[in-house]
Amino acid sequence: MWLYEKKLEYPVKIKNSNPKMAKFIISQYGGPDGELAASLRYLSQRFSMPVPEARAILNDIGISFSKLLTIKPIYSNLIVKFTSCVIPNLYRIKKAIQIHF
């Protein structure tokens, strides 16, 4: 049913950490009017939709679930940049682990 493609729909380039923005972004992801809830609503509504065009649209927009997979990297990049300020050695540690293995 879901087919994962190992790429994003749109590139994510985050230059600066921003915990406040990260908090807002994550509310768009799982909050009360977030993408997660919306996409599941579309996917339920498609079962009782009588018009073929609209049935297809509900199905295909519900599947834009993949948008969630763009939101999530934005969030984690914002946070990673934040923690890497708090713990300056984080990236060095990560590099060391990568070299070790």
Sheet strands (E) in 6-85:
none
51: left (phi over 0), alpha (psi -120 to 50) or beta: beta
Options 16, 47, 53, 88; binder of another protein; rule CB under 8 A: 53
Here's the x/- map for another protein, 9-28, by CB under 8 A: it reads as: xxxx----------------
Shortest distance in whole angstroms from residue 85 CB to another protein: 16
Contact between 36 and 97 under an 8 Å Cβ cutoff? The reply is no
Q: Which CB atom, from 5 or from 32, has the smaller least distance to another protein?
A: 5
